[in-house]
Structure 1
Amino acid sequence: MNKRKLVVKTVAVVLALTPFLALTSNANAAGPVTLTFWSRPQGENGGIVKQLADAYNATHTDIQLKITIIPANDFVTKVATAYQSGEGPDLTSVDLIYVPFLASAGALEDLSSLVAGLSYKDKWDPAHVKLSMYNKKWYSLPFTGDASALFYNKDLFKKAGLDPNKGPASYQEVIDAAKKITALGGGNKGFYFSGACAGCQVFTFAPAIWASGGDMFGPIGEPKFTDPKVAAGLRYYNTMWKNGYVPEGAKTDDGKNFASMFYSGKVGMQVSGSFMIPELTTNHKDINFGIVPIPGPKKGQSSSFNGGDNIALLKGAAHPAEAREFLKWATNEGQKVLAQQKVLPTRMDIAKSDYVPQNPYYGVFYKAAE
């Protein structure tokens, strides 16, 4: 072949390859893959997930996370609607109790193969594991944890003649303490709950019944409100309500005032989660508080609701492979980031090593989650 023919053929090959070379160049210049991540508010203005994203984005150049915070009351509806329209995010953090519903609707990807390769899959807390699965397959991974316990105001206990270093350990001890604190007057009330917030009630009231071995619903969801153990728990709360030991506004509180009443210093006791501790120790240092397990009808009986969020990959996600890489990080290195934010990790090994030592009361929530 002469040089002229060789040059012509070389030019032809280069021209033929030019579009493909351009595509390759553009792909490399496009930058990192951006994963979209929806979350309900966790922490003030969704700060927990936003800080987690900041930590991830700062240490990863090929994948970046974009967070969208969705109001809690609209969250499940918006995720389901987005899935049906094909306009959903890559990832979603969802209240663990809704995972079975979203999985049954076909909205979540099966993550069983991913979980099978994780060396720490036996380190997660049992409640999150149970609700991560549907029909024996993994449709989400344990993400952020929290558990419920009884907070009490030590200063109000002392003023009412109660031992400030000994929280109540039975239904009757709670009732008696609530009566004495309410009797102080000055707007003080013994107990608080958000009466019009269903999720709040499950988190705070249901454990009082579980502590006795009872349950409000049977295996297939049938109500058991006439069960003696359930009836005893209902009478427990009703006694405090009808005697005026609970603020009147509790009846219609849909959760907006869930924590603010205790922060006011005018409430003696409230069942809540570990998320209140950073707020109390940072912005309400004047409140001297204690924390004990949620008591049952008898001393020695206690229980807790182990709540929080699981993280899932939405079916039809734009970047499923990259999303799976983030899921690995979120359930491993990311758990240490959560612990630094004073969030109970769902990894019990990390909770013990990184979370519990930060505050003497964190051990109460760690034990509740085990």
Structure 2
Amino acid sequence: MKMKRGKVLAAALAVMLVLTLALTACGNSGGNSTNGSDNGANTGNAGNTGGTVNEPKEEDTKPAEKSTLEFWANKFEPTTDAWFKKWTDEFNKTHENIQIKLTIVPGDAWAQKMKAAQAAGKAPDLYTMNYGGIANAAKLGQIKPLNDLMDPSVFNDLYDNVKEFVSIKGTYYAYPKLVEPSAVLYYRKDLFTAAGLDPEKPPVTWDELIDYGKKLTQKGIYGLATAQTAPDLGWSSWGLQYNAAGHLPIADDWSKADVMNDGYKKLLDYYKTAYESGIMPKQGLSAYADAAPFGKGKVAMEISGSWAIGLFRNDYKSMLDKIGVAPMPSIDGDQTKPTSTLGGWTLVIDGKSKHEQEAADFISYLLAGDTNIMIDFFKTSQFSKFSPRKSVDEAMNQDEAAKNDPWRKLIAEKVIPYAKAEPIYPWDISMAFSTAIESAMKGESVDKALEKAEKTINDFIAKNKLAGTNPINQ
């Protein structure tokens, strides 16, 4: 919210004080609030019926108190860092009584820096947080609820599936900036044609994906690249876990593992077959998040996140007309079932902040206000990230660059509506299951790999007393 008290107002009040000292009437000025809300200057009681001018209180003659808030943002791509700085500066120019001090924190230093700040009672007023951290932080009181600090309409503007990412039983604890699908299929249309495949008909089932991969594999070019180590599989396979079994590998109340079913057996079989067929490199060419091998022409089909679009458009411009984009194939070809999870980032207010209203005003300005601010962000990201807000998408559909972008349109319409939220349970659960996938890929029987995962997950639940602690169910 804008606060426009300055030297002119202070001077005017001073003159009024001199004039009113000569008057004998008295009244209440109402006082000023310093909680960051957009209060006007109280120079008199407009409702006074006594025919006299109210005498201002002493505090009414002082300029409004300036609040300086600490804002920490994770370090992302240079374009994202620049976007944060640009619009924080714009906010500071137009809100003289609320000033935001932005600090960009590298990811490898984030946890240690935040822990130290919290221990010293100097945590930032607001900061970035990914979806997976929200529920637990809310449960522990580490972040503040936003319902009473922001206009209800900004939450109604969110897509229904995204509302679930940032709220618990109707209470919102974060406001989302973006969503990023974790699994999208990229393929070389020219190599499809050379292999006798229709470049306008990418594979839609796991079996087709492997069959296409075999036809596309040739000297120097692998047919398929996807995650193949436990750390990468831990998060990149969440959507396929939902696709195969309809749930994640732990009961909803976190009381026990839930992995011994036909769906998960088929999931591990898919990875095992793809790896053993020779269409994938035995040693990954890069991490899952890095689609550079595809851009360099070493891979015919690549499964990666939507962020790969930015990489291709920035670093491999000569390849763009050869790249096709499609939803990740599903177990049975039904692409209205999830094959991807939606990662992404939000802004939250620290649970101990003394400036929660001012922080909420900044969040409203940056993420929930003028659609042009967020359109600017999505343009700088080369439309590789997507909006959680309906009004922003509606505005982008009127923007020439956005509405004519076929990749943005495809992912927005055919991937995001069916994607699931990332899980909020401890990472150890994801690693236990992804270790089973990697083990099966590299020779272990599917049944044995799942049995090990079941035991590891159940042991972790017991050791950490996880049963019944899912904050969503409490």
- Fold conserved (TM > 0.5)? yes
Secondary structure of 1:271's counterpart equals strand
Q: How does 1:1-370 map to 2 (within 5 A)?
A: 33-42=67-76, 44-45=77-78, 47-59=79-91, 60-62=94-96, 63-72=98-107, 75-76=110-111, 78-115=113-150, 117-134=151-168, 136-148=170-182, 149-182=184-217, 184-186=218-220, 188-196=221-229, 198=231, 200-201=232-233, 204-217=236-249, 218-221=251-254, 222-250=256-284, 258-287=290-319, 288-301=322-335, 302-303=337-338, 304-317=340-353, 319-329=355-365, 330-333=367-370, 334-341=373-380, 342=383, 343-354=385-396, 356-367=402-413, 368-370=415-417
Query: What is the distance in 2 between the residues matched to 1:262 and 1:38?
Result: 34
Residue 295 of structure 1 aligns with an amino acid whose one-letter code is: P
Query: What is the distance in 1 between the residues matched to 2:100 and 2:228?
Result: 37
Secondary structure of 1:290's counterpart equals strand
C-alpha displacement of 1:121: 1.6
Secondary structure of 1:167's counterpart equals coil
Of structures 1 and 2, the larger Rg is shown by: 2
Gaps of 5+ in 1: 1-9, 11-19
Query: What is the distance in 2 between the residues matched to 1:74 and 1:124?
Result: 31
Q: Could you tell me whether the CA contact under 8 Å between 1:178 and 1:191 is conserved in 2?
A: yes
Secondary structure of 1:130's counterpart equals helix
C-alpha displacement of 1:203: 5.0
Q: Which moved more, 1:326-335 or 1:209-218?
A: 209-218
Query: What is the distance in 1 between the residues matched to 2:303 and 2:108?
Result: 21
Query: What is the distance in 2 between the residues matched to 1:70 and 1:194?
Result: 28
Q: Could you tell me whether the CA contact under 8 Å between 1:291 and 1:361 is conserved in 2?
A: yes
What is the TM-score with the length of structure 2 in the denominator? 0.64
C-alpha displacement of 1:226: 2.2
Secondary structure of 1:346's counterpart equals coil
C-alpha displacement of 1:124: 0.9
Cα distance per residue 1:231-279 (max 9 Å; x no partner)? 111211121112232223329x655x62222222211222223322233
CA shift in 2, pair 1:328/1:212, >3 Å: same
C-alpha displacement of 1:93: 1.3
Residue 70 of structure 2 aligns with an amino acid whose one-letter code is: T
Equivalence for 2:37: none
C-alpha displacement of 1:170: 0.3
Q: Could you tell me whether the CA contact under 8 Å between 1:335 and 1:347 is conserved in 2?
A: no
Equivalence for 1:6: none
Gaps of 5+ in 2: 1-20, 22-57, 418-474
CA shift in 2, pair 1:84/1:112, >3 Å: farther
Secondary structure of 1:162's counterpart equals coil
Secondary structure of 2:284's counterpart equals helix
C-alpha displacement of 1:73: 5.1
Secondary structure of 1:241's counterpart equals helix
Q: Could you tell me whether the CA contact under 8 Å between 1:180 and 1:190 is conserved in 2?
A: yes
Q: Could you tell me whether the CA contact under 8 Å between 2:226 and 2:304 is conserved in 1?
A: no
Query: What is the distance in 2 between the residues matched to 1:202 and 1:125?
Result: 26
Residue 374 of structure 2 aligns with an amino acid whose one-letter code is: Q
Query: What is the distance in 2 between the residues matched to 1:51 and 1:197?
Result: 33
Query: What is the distance in 2 between the residues matched to 1:107 and 1:71?
Result: 21
Residue 192 of structure 2 aligns with an amino acid whose one-letter code is: F
Residue 211 of structure 2 aligns with an amino acid whose one-letter code is: D
Secondary structure of 1:344's counterpart equals coil
Cα distance per residue 1:302-322 (max 9 Å; x no partner)? 422122112100122253222
Query: What is the distance in 2 between the residues matched to 1:282 and 1:339?
Result: 14
Alignment RMSD: 3.0
